[in-house]
């Protein structure tokens, strides 16, 4: 096994181009588990920890650009204002030790359907900035990034550089079902983002299909029927929950049954919409 230690982004891209089979490692919270348990022994590890720029975030061109090496702890501490959904989800990741090391970039790279950062990225309309030495930068919308269980649109010679997330213009919530309060992989999860300017609601489902995904029909329902000046009607909230549940395509596994997940997604969707809507109305009243 090789251990590659680039110190600049250019060196990292060159290393990935020359050894596409190398596995990028950031916080190690996924990659090291697989190595410790001998699930996988990659020919090379590509350590990105020394590429300092990956640990930075900034507001660029009206978007919040979060470097692939920004740990969850920093998202929680510093990005709760512009990215409340992502910050809420980040706070539910593992333990403090894991949040100190794990990154949104690593979550994207692993592309697990259970990754906690995926639903809020989908709901907010994020895009993933990836780059290769040969073909340069590509921006991949989050909704097109996830391709299958632990498969993404990332090419073998590409690295994730950052994720670009529109700052919140309305309330956002993330909710997750687990068997205890801390240290759980989601049984299922749901994120919602209100975009009042566009009269649009974004959604994201986690652990409820082979990939994280949006509930498109549910979004269309709200785009057509939601009155942004008025209280949410229970009937509309219920239909929203039903359409979100219908967007789920889960499996039975050790964490929960498919039927339970479908049911729970409906409940999470209805509740998070109600929370977000209350915030929206309060803000209008203020």
**Among residues 12, 15, 47, 269, which is the contact residue for other proteins, using CB under 8 A?**
47
Question: Strands 127-132 and 158-165, how do they pair?
Answer: antiparallel
In terms of CB distance, is 126 or 186 closer to other proteins? Answer: 186
Q: How many CA atoms lie within 13 A of 232 on its CB side?
A: 21
Of the residues 20, 21, 32, 238, which one makes contact with other proteins according to CB under 8 A: 32
Nearest to 177 by CA among 266, 244, 105: 266
- Of 22 and 189, nearer to other proteins (C-beta) is 22
Please, what's the largest Cα pairwise distance for the chain?
61
Stretch that binds other proteins, among 25-33, 128-136, 231-239, 272-280 (CB under 8 A): 25-33
- Supply the minimum distance, in Å, between the C-beta of residue 91 and other proteins: 9
Cα–Cα distance, 83 to 121 (Å, whole number) = 9
Pairing type for strands 136-141 and 127-132 reads antiparallel
Q: Do the beta carbons of residue 72 and residue 99 sit within 8 Å? A: yes
Q: Which residues from 154-183 bind other proteins, rule CB under 8 A?
A: 181-183
- Rounded to a whole number of angstroms, the minimum distance from the CB of residue 127 to other proteins is 28
Asked if residue 105 lies in contact with residue 123, where contact means CB atoms within 8 angstroms, the answer is no
Per CB under 8 A, which of residues 86..125 are in contact with other proteins?
Answer: 94-98, 100-101
Give the number of residues in contact with other proteins, rule: CB under 8 A.
30
Cβ closest to other proteins, residue 180 vs residue 286: 180
Residues 226-285 within binding reach of other proteins (CB under 8 A): none
- Do 64 and 82 form a contact (C-beta atoms < 8 A)? yes
| Beta-carbon contacts of residue 166 (< 8 Å; ≥ 6 apart) | 62, 63, 64, 124, 125, 126
Query: For other proteins, which residue of 49, 210, 236, 260 counts as binding (CB under 8 A)?
Result: 49
Kindly state the smallest distance separating residue 193's Cβ from other proteins, in Å: 25
Both tokens assigned to 259: 């039927």
**What is the closest distance, in whole angstroms, from the C-beta atom of residue 2 to other proteins in the complex?**
6
Interface contacts to other proteins, rule CB under 8 A: 1-3, 5, 25, 27-29, 31-33, 35-37, 41, 44-45, 47, 49, 73, 94-98, 100-101, 181-183
């Amino acid at each position: 096994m090789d251990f590659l230690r680039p110190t600049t982004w250019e060196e990292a891209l060159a290393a990935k181009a020359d050894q596409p089979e190398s596995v990028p490692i950031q916080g190690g919270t996924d990659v090291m588990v697989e190595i410790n348990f001998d699930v996988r022994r990659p020919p090379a590890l590509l350590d990105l920890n020394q590429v300092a720029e990956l640990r930075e975030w900034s507001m660029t061109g009206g978007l919040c650009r979060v470097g692939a090496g920004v740990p969850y702890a920093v998202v929680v501490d510093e990005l709760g204002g512009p990215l409340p959904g992502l910050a809420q989800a980040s706070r539910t990741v593992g333990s403090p030790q894991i949040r100190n090391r794990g990154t949104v970039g690593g979550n994207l790279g692993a592309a697990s359907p259970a990754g906690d950062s995926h639903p809020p990225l989908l709901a907010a309309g994020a895009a993933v900035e990836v780059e290769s030495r040969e073909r340069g930068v590509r921006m991949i919308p989050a909704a097109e990034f996830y391709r299958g269980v632990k498969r993404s649109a990332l090419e073998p010679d590409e690295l994730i550089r950052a994720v670009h997330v529109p700052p919140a213009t309305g309330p956002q919530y993330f909710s997750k079902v687990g068997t205890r309060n801390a240290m759980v992989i989601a049984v299922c999860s749901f994120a919602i983002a209100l975009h009042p300017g566009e009269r649009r609601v974004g959604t994201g489902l986690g652990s409820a299909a082979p990939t994280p995904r949006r509930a498109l029909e549910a979004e269309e329902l709200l785009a057509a029927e939601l009155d942004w000046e008025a209280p949410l009607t229970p009937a509309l909230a219920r239909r929203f929950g039903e359409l979100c549940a219908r967007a789920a395509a889960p499996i039975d596994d050790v964490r929960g049954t498919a039927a339970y997940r479908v049911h729970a997604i409906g409940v999470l969707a209805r509740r998070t919409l109600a929370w977000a809507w209350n915030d929206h109305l309060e803000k209008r009243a203020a």
